[in-house]
Amino acid sequence: MYVECWKKYCQPNWQAYAHKYGHDLICLEHPLDLSSRAKLRSPTWQKCLILSRGFASDYQTVVWIDSDIVINDKAPDVAIGVPANKVGAVDAYEFSEVFPKRVYKMWPDFVQSPTPQVYYRNYGLPDDVDRAINTGVMVLSPSYHRALWSWSTIITRRKAVGNGIWSSGHSLTSCSKVVTSIFWIRAST
């Protein structure tokens, strides 16, 4: 369903965006991790594996975009301005106070995390972090972040063993303040 939807509604504007800024467009149509553990948890976790794929080593910069995102043709090149040693991402809590209230009303089962501190606390992590990111769009540098991404996979796998709530897919955003401190956060998209 996702692949068909992406091809129909996203591929044209993604292709135009990639062409406009000189990027190659690579669509990952299949899970990177086919293990039984991977099948039991959200595909979000697969993002931890993208820099370990062969294609990633061919590029200085990798822009990750979730398949449920439509790009406006006025969008600038997100890779511009992101320091190579940082991960570019969007602040998940920059929205108005109204937004999370509507989200929780729409999805009552959604874990309610009105602030970054509560978000971390809900997932059993130290709450001395004041920001959290949305991983829908990320700018990555394989040479800088491959090891970190592999490391975060190990961390989250260990957590997944100890606490089932981790299987909900909050992998990269929730690792620890050590991980979030390397993010270069852009105000909005």
Partner 1 sequence: MWKLLGDPLQKLRIDAVNTVYQSSFFLHFGETMDQMPMVNPGAVSWWKI
44 binds partner 1 per the rule CB under 8 A: no
Amino acid making up residue 102: R
Residue 41: both structure tokens together: 């948890």
Amino acid making up residue 21: Y
Q: What is the closest distance, in whole angstroms, from the C-beta atom of residue 24 to partner 1 in the complex?
A: 18
Interaction pattern, residues 45-84, with partner 1; x per rule: CB under 8 A: --------------------xx-xxxxxxxxx-x------
Q: What is the closest distance, in whole angstroms, from the C-beta atom of residue 133 to partner 1 in the complex?
A: 13
Nearer Cβ to partner 1 (33/77): 77
Closest CA to 46 of 182, 149, 123, 131: 149
Can you tell me the distance from the alpha carbon of 13 to that of 139, in angstroms, rounded to the nearest whole number?
Answer: 19
Q: What is the closest distance, in whole angstroms, from the C-beta atom of residue 126 to partner 1 in the complex?
A: 27
Sheet architecture: strand order including 183-186: 62-65, 133-140, 87-91, 183-186
13 binds partner 1 per the rule CB under 8 A: yes
Nearer Cβ to partner 1 (157/186): 186
Q: What is the closest distance, in whole angstroms, from the C-beta atom of residue 13 to partner 1 in the complex?
A: 6
Say if residue 61 is exposed, middle or buried (CB neighbours under 10 Å; 0-12, 13-18, 19+).
middle
Please give the residue ranges that form the binding site for partner 1 (CB under 8 A).
Answer: 2, 5, 9-10, 12-13, 65-66, 68-76, 78, 106-107, 134, 136-137, 189
